[in-house]
Structure 1
Amino acid sequence: MLRVRPIVFTSRPEAWEPLLAALGMIKTVDDGGRREFDAGSGRLALQQVSPGAVEDGSTVFGVEIGDPAEFARRTVADGTRAEVIDTAHGTAVRVTAEDGFSFLADKAAHGAVCADADPALAVVGIWLTPAVERATQELRHIGARPRRDTPDGPDLSTKNGGILTVRAGDQPAGGPLEFEYDGGLDGLRARLASAGVAVREDGGTLLVGAPDGGELAVRRA
């Protein structure tokens, strides 16, 4: 299995909840400092940190998988470095790409709980890299499948929810939090505004005010 699941590190998780609810996400985990939300496709985790922490407000690229040992074996067999490791949240696989970018594939704690989520909303995981073609191939090595080419870069689909995309960047890194919406943006914009969320539209993309500052994007499918 493969599911997109970025992590937002934030000192303001309570402020995120009405925003994610207005987007159409459903809270599926509330365990101390960690909360998880399912979209119609894909998942997002909030990890609470102290105000002023270095990582406060940052987004980390990540995915969820089934069997870590089997996932690592298949990834290595296809040509990308992967090793099974122990983390504070359990067993995971660290994937290290040729460009030096590294991310975790965590063992999923539960299946998708998205029956009440907005089916039009998908979570997008973004990989920035100067080696777009190679990074795209390495996402195929972890089980993603080509979906479409966009003006910003190639998109890939995942079996268990969410979209992975590769975009050109000077240095390899995870990109900002983003969503895709397969429906009319006017209705979503009104829903966000009714929840008191600052939102504006730019060229068919909704730019939504984030609790930690800045904006997150909801692009049209």
Structure 2
Amino acid sequence: MLRVRPLHFTARIDDWERLLTALGLVLTEGDTGFRVFDAGSGRLALHGVPEGAAEDGSTALAVEVGDVAEFARRTNLSAQDEGTTPAEIITADHGEACRITGPDGFSFVADKAAPGADQAGGADPALAVVGVWFTEDPAAAGQTLRHIGARPRPVPDADETADFTAKNGGVLLVRPASGNPRSGLGFEYDGGLEPLRERLAAAGFHPSITEEAFGRTLHVPSPDVGRAAPHVPATVWISEQRPMG
């Protein structure tokens, strides 16, 4: 199995829970400094940190798998023709995990999914969690995601972007960017954005819809803005799901 589950660090965990609930996610694990929310597709974990912490407002790309050791074996088997072993078993604070490292040096973690951690009832089925890998080497990043079992998704253009879906939920995007590789967080919505905008506005947020190159995107101010490092994105984005084809 493979499910997208980014980890977001924030000093405003309650504000984030309010936003995620308005977006249509449901709380499925935890209730204090670590909370996991399910969308219709994919999951998002929140990790509380002190105000002013270096990681406040940042997101770490992460996925969930059924069997960590088997996942590592299959990933390395898929990459053997390249003479690389991108997957490494590690011991994390919460137990055994797998670290995947791309040719650009970017790494992310695959954790074992909690027993019965299927998508929760009550989550908006049209909403998907999106993890983003920004890199100067998008072709290599895309290949690494293929090795872990992510499924390529057709995109409407022929540039260096690459879209993937995970078998058990969530979306992974590769986007070209200068500088050090890094991760990002967003959402996709399979349907018109107006009902979602109205739902967010009713919950006290101030969303706006903008026209992008290949569709529309809904932006809502991030709970971290003004409280975290300057590099923190000003908004949380929710894009219309790209058409297949």
The superposition leaves residues 54-113 of structure 1 with CA deviations (integer Å, 9 ceiling, x where unpaired) of: 001111111111111111111111114111111112211011111111111111114223
| TM superposition shift of 1:174 | 3.1
- 2:196 aligned with 1:159, yes or no? no
Counterpart amino acid of residue 84 in structure 1: I
Q: Which runs of 5+ in 1 are unaligned?
A: none
Query: Is structure 2 residue 120 aligned with structure 1 residue 100?
Result: no
Give, in whole Å, the separation in 2 of the partners of 1:172 and 1:132.
Answer: 13
How far apart, CA to CA, are the structure 2 residues paired with 1:44 and 1:218? 14
- Where does 1:61-140 land on structure 2 (aligned, <5 Å)? 61-79=61-79, 80-110=85-115, 111-140=117-146
Unaligned runs of 5+ in 2: 80-84, 226-233
- The corresponding residue for 1:2 is 2
Look up the match of 1:142. 148
More strand by share: 1
Q: CA deviation at 1:31?
A: 4.9
- The aligned length equals 221
Give the equivalent residue in structure 2 for 1:45: 45
Distance 1:104 1:197 in 2: 32
The counterpart of 1:179, out of the listed 182, 187, 205, is 187
Query: For the structure 1 residues 31 and 107, does the alpha-carbon distance in structure 2 shift closer, same or farther, using more than 3 Å as the test?
Result: farther
Q: Bigger shift: 13-22 or 150-159?
A: 150-159
What is the DSSP-based 3-state SS (H/G/I as helix, E as strand, rest coil) of the residue aligned with 1:50?
A: coil
Distance 1:194 1:6 in 2: 27
- Distance in 2 (alpha carbons) for counterparts of 1:113 and 1:73: 26
C-alpha separation between the residues in 2 aligned to 1:33 and 1:88?
15
**196 and 54 in structure 1: CA distance in 2 versus 1, 3 angstrom threshold:** same
Please tell me the residue identity of whatever aligns with 2:40: G
Equivalent residue, structure 2, for 1:212: 224
Q: Kindly name which structure, 1 or 2, has the bigger radius of gyration based on alpha carbons.
A: 2
| Residues 67, 51 of structure 1: alpha-carbon distance in 2 compared, 3 angstrom cutoff | same
Does the alignment pair 1:191 with 2:199? yes
Deviation at 1:171, TM superposition (A): 3.2
- Tell me how far 1:197 sits from its aligned partner: 1.2
SS in 1 for 2:15: helix
1:151-196 alpha-carbon deviations (Å, 9 max, x no partner): 5711111111000110001135333210000011000000000001
| Runs of 4+ more than 3 Å apart | none
Partner amino acid, structure 2, of 1:216: V
Deviates more, 1:187-196 or 1:198-207: 198-207
Taking structure 2 as the reference length, the TM-score comes to 0.87
Among all aligned residue pairs of Structure 1 and Structure 2, give the percentage whose two residues are the same amino acid.
53
Q: Distance in 1 between matches of 2:131 and 2:154?
A: 15
Distance change in 2, residues 1:4/1:172 (3 Å): farther
- The answer as to 2:63 corresponding to 1:58 is no
Matched residues in 2 for 1:73 and 1:172: separation?
Answer: 28
